[in-house]
Amino acid sequence: MHMDDMILISVDDHIVEPPDMFKNHLSKKYLDEAPRLVHNADGSDTWQFRDVVIPNVALNAVAGRPKEEYGLEPQGLDEIRPGCWKVDERVKDMNAGGILGSMCFPSFPGFAGRLFATEDPEFSLALVQAYNDWHVEEWCGAYPARFIPMTLPVIWDPVACAAEIRRNAARGVHSLTFSENPSAMGYPSFHDFDYWKPMWDALVDTDTVLNVHIGSSGRLAITAPDAPMDVMITLQPMNIVQAAADLLWSKPIKEYPDLKIALSEGGTGWIPYFLERVDRTYEMHSTWTGQDFGGKLPSEVFREHFLTCFIADPVGVATRHAIGMDNICWEADYPHSDSMWPGAPEQLDQVFTTNGVPDAEINKMTFENAMRWYHFDPFRHIPREQATVGALRKAAEGHDVSIQALSHREKTGATFADFAANAKELTGNKD
């Protein structure tokens, strides 16, 4: 397949929320209490909600910046590409990168919306619903051919969470972001079946995918306080390995044949060994642990329930058949530092060519699996011939994608370790 003929749908990108996101969706009685973006005297921008101050307006939103600035967390909206928080500019960036579709995870509320948990259930629910309404109606609704809608959970109340899942599914949303480990956040674990049952029921009834993103519990792999940040960056996918094991051995997997779970930003190269290991564990230990998959191997059950995703992953692409061709999607991770934007097509083409991937398998990984898993059909809105890498880039001619040094402030301690500490506070992580 020629690179320009590829169609790319990313199942993991990120939004930096705009300052006015609550204006049209939150009841007037709550507007004064809502999270707000504050422009500080030093020129920085911070999200503030009650006594919580999120120190960086945009976690790792470094798309378009030189690698020398990747370690600097942007401190103001003027230090990030407008495409991070303006939907019209995001689509221009997507076109320039040859990307047709995108599913965007939240930023300041945390991946599971834990920031919105307050002592007032009515207020908390109003915040979640306002966020979801903004995301579905304004962000995704502005370009229905370009965005897969995904909503926040009511993570502190499984019954309310189920109702919110059903409310959003009624308007075509089949994606829910969630924590990869609710236990770390002080909630019952995935193994408390009765507690989470209303949520599982709603997910299955509406064919909604549960997306567990790395770091969504605030639990990040830090081996020692003085370890180089390279250690933590290297180990980030381990959160997803843990989540995969946790969920695969949980009761919902056995009770709901149609339950769908996405391991977001977890990569794929580790999965063949993981599947080998869970099968071996089952073979050697199930007689005394009491596990029963109804005559199937855990690896078979994994392929029935789990979606995985990759950015480039040469090892994962090489071993794609051991993972399952119906279980792999591509992700761009825009605007974070792992992103290949705007050169994703070139890097993907190299990986696919090196591994001799046939056209039909490329299509599955780059867009067909995403469309099927998330009930997303961009071709209702855009002709297929206008959805290719080549066509989108042609539409973006003249759009500036040059690498620019944007940081103009002193670094203020925003290291990865600092982020880890802040992530724990934001998510309510208890360990």
Q: Taking residues 4-20, what's their average pLDDT?
A: 97
Q: Report the SS3 class of residue 262.
A: strand
Note the pTM of the prediction, 2 decimals.
0.95
* Residue 363 in domain: yes
CATH number at residue 170: 3.20.20.140
Confidence (pLDDT) at 414: 46
* Residue whose structure tokens are 């724990």: 424
Q: Is the pLDDT of residue 32 over 80?
A: yes
For 356, the token pair is 């001799």
Q: Is the pLDDT of residue 64 over 70?
A: yes
- When divided into structural domains, the chain yields a total of 1
* Residue 2 in domain: no
For 71, the token pair is 């370690």
Confidence (pLDDT) at 226: 85
pLDDT in tens, 227-275: 888 888 888 888 899 999 999 999 999 999 999 999 999 999 999 999 9
Confidence (pLDDT) at 418: 60
For 207-343, where are the alpha helices, taking DSSP H only?
229-235, 238-248, 251-255, 271-289, 298-305, 314-318, 320-323
* Residue 154 in domain: yes
Strand-pair category, 45-49 with 52-54: antiparallel
Domain limits for position 88? 7-427
CB 53 within 8 A of CB 46: yes
Q: Report the SS3 class of residue 129.
A: helix
Confidence (pLDDT) at 288: 96
Burial (CB count <10 Å: 0-12, 13-18, 19+), residue 308 = buried
Distances (CA, A) of 339 to 68, 139, 218, 353, 365: 15, 21, 21, 20, 17
pLDDT class for 413, splitting at 50, 70, 90?
very low
Confidence (pLDDT) at 70: 81
* Residue 129 in domain: yes
* Residue 1 in domain: no
CA 132, distance to chain mean position in Å, is: 15
* Residue 209 in domain: yes
C-alpha 351/C-alpha 315 separation (Å) is: 9
Percentage of residues in the chain with pLDDT exceeding 90?
A: 83
What is the rounded average pLDDT for all residues in the chain?
93
Strand-pair category, 36-39 with 45-49: antiparallel
C-alpha 177/C-alpha 87 separation (Å) is: 20
